[in-house]
Structure 1
């Protein structure tokens, strides 16, 4: 098969690496990679290619970075690749109907949730923030609707009680390749995918930075989920003595008090109901560190209030 890959972040790069190896072994070819255009980053604000772009360059696969796929030229160029299938993973751009229809066998999406739960942009974060016990990966045939297409393969995993979004991201990226390869084989053999259930649809809207500030009046279980669901990016945060500090890891803890009050010398903090222990934090301009390391250079007294 002639395959195009469309993706942008680290999640997609892991899948591209596996797809390139699998294709070479099985006589297929990844003929082109699409990724979002380079973005300004770093102190010099120089355009930086995405993780997928960098990997494709290293693999010697041609990379295209259109700002969108709406122009007749971009759609013509895509059709001219004469594809059997396109594999899409966290690409970040909407695929118009001419793009979806161009490959002979359609477009497959590697989606990081158990559809129809958490359709949309941020399924990993939303699953943790909602307190889901399980999640997984679905390999879906793409349609014009938002993650509405039928599913070829799905793999389910538990979400650990202290797992962060970053950790879950890595697990799902590693998990996604095997069902993708099975789905590509299904597709080649003419197998039919299974329509998604009508019930249980939820939407994982994009994370807004305004969601990142911790509200200590909320129950501890919700604060803990917020911290883990937004770690490492954008990072849930609070203020102490006028400084913004990110909380990157936490766990539920015993204790009670006025919301935001530090209850001990290990950064256990009272919430609206219960308490959380902040176990990993990050001050501005510094790396992530555990609570003990932070407290050695930035003492926080029992009874202080976090805002």
Structure 2
């Protein structure tokens, strides 16, 4: 394939455009990031360019791989290790195989590509190029999802086995740091370059970059912000690896610097709403953090007296004290929702809003409510909330009301 041409490969989330990269040497003296930092690239603390065994899968990892590949003065040899291709959907009665974006990039750009053996990473043989020159060999994982066994780690110096993690370690250690940063209402998160240990996120932190979280960020939007910052931070760390290694610190050595927290893998039960204890802000934050994968879920009693599962496909916050788009809530509806119990719904036809009362806000604000935009009852189609609620309400004057059930 000629330089500048492109190829498209499928992903479970989207189609990724894989392009051949112009590998001109890096001559810039600094890097600018959306976080406002500047990276000084110092070459005095390292010798020849690194050789990198790059372990990754998705588009987040691809951003780092592209950055490395475009800077041969820092990294002049890359080999890629990815999971096996997986058939994960059907199209015209045929299974469609998903090719990891990292693998596609390697194939398009002529990089050696390896696949995790069927027996796991314990059966993977480190390529000889990385065994001969330990000082310049790097083992790097980005969005890999597999624990590197000691057999592989032992082939690399401790400061040469690295991981890119999208949080300010030791905060948000785990599989879903971006999601939990949003779900917990944090104002900032970051990127850390850490060494690889014998368990996930147990290494020493070599380098970190703080990233502000814009209001109303979703998982996907914040991820897009962090991706290029992660790639730049990786390049900075490799350019200053000896200095970073000399000042590295273990998570356990600074327990008071940043509160240690965990970011476990996202599971369906994490979006099951507990109306009696979850505030509207907490519920809406979970929607932004996890709704791309699992919709908010609850239950309601149908007109036949049966429990029905309900998915809240789209929600936002309604601040009664602030100017909100659309017509303001009627006074009658406001009094009903203000005095309602957590889980109770009010449909105000005058403003065409469907609001739900939730548990009190942490700051005591009683005028913040969850606004339903799109809803789906199990076995039925997704519809706008003002249409959906007609089948589940009783009438109080010109206002319709209903009630959700608390999660078990």
TM category (shorter chain) comes to 0.7 to 0.9
1:275 aligns with 369
> Cα 1:131–1:2, aligned 2, differ >3 Å: closer, same or farther?
same
Secondary structure of 1:19's aligned partner:
helix
Is contact 1:100–1:106 with CA below 8 Å preserved after alignment? no
> Cα 1:280–1:29, aligned 2, differ >3 Å: closer, same or farther?
farther
1:88 aligns with 141
Is contact 1:3–1:87 with CA below 8 Å preserved after alignment? yes
> What is the aligned length?
297
> Cα 1:55–1:260, aligned 2, differ >3 Å: closer, same or farther?
farther
Alignment of structure 1 residues 288-307 onto 2, 5 Å:
294-295=384-385, 298-301=387-390, 302-306=400-404
2:104 aligns with 54
Residues 1:140 and 2:194 are matched in the alignment:
yes
TM-score (norm 2): 0.64
Secondary structure of 1:247's aligned partner:
strand
> Cα 1:306–1:151, aligned 2, differ >3 Å: closer, same or farther?
same
Q: State which of 239, 255, 265 in structure 2 corresponds to 1:185.
A: 239
Residues 1:4 and 2:53 are matched in the alignment:
yes
Q: State which of 245, 258, 274 in structure 1 corresponds to 2:341.
A: 258
> Cα 1:93–1:277, aligned 2, differ >3 Å: closer, same or farther?
same
- Paired with 2:77 and 2:402, the residues of 1 have a C-alpha distance of 57
Is contact 1:166–1:231 with CA below 8 Å preserved after alignment? no
Q: State which of 93, 96, 111 in structure 1 corresponds to 2:165.
A: 111
Secondary structure of 1:207's aligned partner:
coil
TM-score (norm 1): 0.83
Gaps of 5+ in 1: none
Secondary structure of 2:384's aligned partner:
helix
Q: CA deviation at 1:305?
A: 3.6
Q: How big is each residue's C-alpha offset from its partner over 1:224-251, in whole Å with a ceiling of 9 and x where there is no partner?
A: 2221221312332345764643435523
Alignment of structure 1 residues 124-203 onto 2, 5 Å:
124-187=178-241, 191-195=245-249, 196=251, 197-199=254-256, 200-203=259-262
Q: How big is each residue's C-alpha offset from its partner over 1:162-181, in whole Å with a ceiling of 9 and x where there is no partner?
A: 11122111111121011110
Q: State which of 121, 133, 155 in structure 2 corresponds to 1:69.
A: 121
- Paired with 1:237 and 1:157, the residues of 2 have a C-alpha distance of 30
Give the structure with the larger strand fraction.
2
Q: How big is each residue's C-alpha offset from its partner over 1:185-222, in whole Å with a ceiling of 9 and x where there is no partner?
A: 11267852420323422221111222122233322222
Larger Rg: 2
- Paired with 2:88 and 2:179, the residues of 1 have a C-alpha distance of 23
Secondary structure of 1:233's aligned partner:
coil
Is contact 1:228–1:249 with CA below 8 Å preserved after alignment? no
Q: CA deviation at 1:147?
A: 1.2
Q: State which of 23, 32, 37 in structure 1 corresponds to 2:79.
A: 32
Q: How big is each residue's C-alpha offset from its partner over 1:273-297, in whole Å with a ceiling of 9 and x where there is no partner?
A: 3522245778999999xxxx8358x
Is contact 1:137–1:156 with CA below 8 Å preserved after alignment? yes
Q: CA deviation at 1:126?
A: 1.5
Gaps of 5+ in 2: 1-49, 303-307, 321-336, 361-367, 391-399
> Cα 1:27–1:258, aligned 2, differ >3 Å: closer, same or farther?
closer
Q: How big is each residue's C-alpha offset from its partner over 1:53-80, in whole Å with a ceiling of 9 and x where there is no partner?
A: 2333233323222153112xx1x33455
Is contact 1:40–1:48 with CA below 8 Å preserved after alignment? yes
> Cα 1:115–1:27, aligned 2, differ >3 Å: closer, same or farther?
closer
> Cα 1:272–1:111, aligned 2, differ >3 Å: closer, same or farther?
same
Secondary structure of 2:170's aligned partner:
coil
